[in-house]
Amino acid sequence: MMTFRRKGPLWALILAFGCGKPEAAGTLINMYDNQFNGAVARVPVGTRVTFLNGGRSVHNATAVDGAWKSGDVAAHSSGEGRGADVVFDKPGVYKYYCSYHGTKDSHGMAGVVVVGDVSYSPSPRGAIAPADTASGRVRHVPAEYPTIQAAVDAASPGDLVLVGRGVYREEVTVTTPSLVIRGVDRNETIIDGEFVRGNGIAVLADAVAVENMTARNALLNGFFWTGVTGFRGSYLTAYNNGDYGVYAFGSKDGVFEDSYASGSPDSGFYIGQCYPCRVVIRSVVAERNGLGYSGTNAGGQLYLVSSIWRNNRAGIVPTSLDVELDPPQRNAVYAANLVIDNNNLGAPAIVINSVAFGNGILLAGSVRDTVIRNVVLDHASHGIVTSPIQDRNFYPAIDNVIRDNVVLGSGRGDLVNAGPGAAGNCFSGNEYRTAVPFGLEVARGCHGLTMPWWSDWVPFGTIFARALVAKEPFPDWKTQPPPPPQAGMPSPESAPVRIATHVFESLHFDLASAQVPAGTDSIVAVWRSGAAPHDRTPGWLGRIAANAAFLIGPLIVCWWLMRALRSRKAPVDRPWGRRLGALVTGVLAWVAVVGLSIWYFSRI
């Protein structure tokens, strides 16, 4: 049985304040003009699948057999997107299409939802077993095959598809496992979506590696792995793609390395819906994106290390949301990164990530994450902040460790612990100038007793306030500047063929050996010397203003208790009605201060 329900703008779904009854797990399928983002979605029985329209046209999801239909979903006039839910209560393979932009035989805008433990292969050749070793066969494009897709379709597990220099105007879908797809020149082997095709390369099969090439101008993603075990993206450049740059969803056991992403309205790099992920992102650069990194409900041996996140709207933003399975986001590590100047209003965005503007590392509803040995500089809002997030359910940020980071030049606070519900987060050994609430490392240190109430509600309120006013148009992702040439893979035509099996194990990853990117120490030296070009660190008045909402509440309580104790000696002069009135007045004053703080800091 399938049922569906419409819902309103996405900001209301994600950021509405308050706690509701826990609802069924869900996953998200985006609808664009005219593609579903994710050709195959694999979900457990009973999952609520949300079809969300992020395009400009009316779309729907209609079962091929006519058994169900999501209903027409119109695009919101502000570009926020609207959606409809379909709950899949029985195991099976459910093929669907948009009745306006696809056909029943899976042409055009079409997809598949696989529910439960059901066998399904997206390959037209049927199920193909993966291989652990290279076959020795090289398939040359364009010398042997005119297109990358033709070579991929002809290949067998273990083959190398070697792609020559040139611009390939196609969308590549990989359904054969254990392939290595490699360009001979990272900057001159280019897949161009021409703003009409969905993805550069979409991988639906296990153990596929993509290396040393560029994807640009796709309506959705540059490089995309979905529902796979084993993946590797090395020496990739993804720019000016309409959703994500380099993206793995519902996938585990992989690595993104030595890669670059820019011009993505959602995020440059994304890991979503996996636990344990067993994934490493290392030595990458993300700039001029809505978010540098986003990871929804992703964790468990997940490491972002030794990378540069700069000049995005926000830097590193893991989140807990009900629109993907298995919340909350938990047990991820962010180490030895350079996170700098993520305040770029000229970067493209979508509504739900625009609210994170000006934050270096924002743990939104994260649980037991570790933020260690990062350098976080020059952010309009906050350097490192823990904050709750509200979707259908409320997710506080709890039990996170923020330790041994250098955090300087933040407009409101370098270190911030945001409530409500901020329990167990600890801060220690960090180099910083401002904290909200003040004395954060003392009150919420990582050793001994901590003060559980030592949190500030303004960041969460600020996110909510920004969501109320956020609207398109944002800067156009199609017109972002192209990146400079990037360093290519050494000896691509003769380098060994490494199948993407047992990836995490083969990395022999050692967190202790992760180093900050080259040149970081000299940048930090400039900031320590006071010679940074735009140090946003507030003066004493600004620090008091940033802490005002936190300070006023305890002061009101202390003041009221003193009045109450004094009134015991003069009950006639100070009856309880007056005391209650004083308390109400004080609380209203505190609410007013919080409201003014939220209004002021949401303008940053």
DSSP sequence for 494-531: TS-----SSHHHHHT--GGG--PPTTHHHHHHHHHHT-
How many Å apart are CA 22 and CA 318, to the nearest integer? 21
Res 102 pLDDT > 80: no
Residues facing 42 on adjacent strands: 114
Question: CB under 8 Å to 377, separation ≥6 — which residues?
Answer: 338, 339, 340, 341, 360, 383, 406, 407, 408, 409, 523, 524, 527, 532
Res 77 pLDDT > 90: no
352 or 502, greater pLDDT = 502
Q: What is the pLDDT of residues 291-324, one digit of tens each?
A: 999 999 999 999 999 999 999 999 999 999 988 8
Res 154 pLDDT > 60: yes
Res 449 pLDDT > 90: no
What amino acid is encoded at 52 in this protein? L
- Looking at residue 277, what is its pLDDT? 97
Res 14 pLDDT > 60: no
Q: 209: number of CA atoms within 13 Å, CB side? A: 28
Return the DSSP state at 479.
G
CB atoms < 10 A from the CB of 537, how many? 19
Give me the mean pLDDT over the 271-280 stretch. Answer: 96
Nearest to 61 by CA among 96, 35, 112, 29: 96
Give me the mean pLDDT over the 479-483 stretch. Answer: 96
Res 153 pLDDT > 80: yes
Q: What is the pLDDT of residues 377-408, one digit of tens each?
A: 999 999 999 999 988 888 999 999 999 999 99
How many Å apart are CA 453 and CA 554, to the nearest integer? 10
Question: What's the token pair of residue 236?
Answer: 């990739």
**Per-range mean pLDDT, top range of 71-75, 79-83, 489-493, 550-554:** 489-493
Answer yes or no: are the C-beta atoms of 317 and 356 closer than 8 Å: yes
Mean pLDDT of the chain: 85
- Predicted confidence band at 266 (pLDDT cuts at 50, 70, 90)? very high
Question: What's the token pair of residue 20?
Answer: 């509701």
Torsion sign, CA atoms 203, 132, 152, 127: negative
Nearest to 546 by CA among 465, 461, 463, 458: 458
- Predicted confidence band at 22 (pLDDT cuts at 50, 70, 90)? very low
Res 78 pLDDT > 50: no
Res 15 pLDDT > 50: no
- Predicted confidence band at 121 (pLDDT cuts at 50, 70, 90)? confident
Q: Top-level CATH class of 2-115? A: mainly beta
435 or 553, greater pLDDT = 435
- Looking at residue 599, what is its pLDDT? 62
Give me the mean pLDDT over the 575-603 stretch. Answer: 63
- Predicted confidence band at 264 (pLDDT cuts at 50, 70, 90)? very high
Question: What's the token pair of residue 211?
Answer: 């290396």
How many Å apart are CA 46 and CA 118, to the nearest integer? 14
Res 184 pLDDT > 50: yes
CB atoms < 10 A from the CB of 507, how many? 17
- Predicted confidence band at 34 (pLDDT cuts at 50, 70, 90)? confident
- Looking at residue 82, what is its pLDDT? 60
Give me the mean pLDDT over the 18-31 stretch. Answer: 61
Give me the mean pLDDT over the 82-101 stretch. Answer: 82
- Predicted confidence band at 2 (pLDDT cuts at 50, 70, 90)? very low
Helix (H, G, I), strand (E, B) or coil at 261: strand
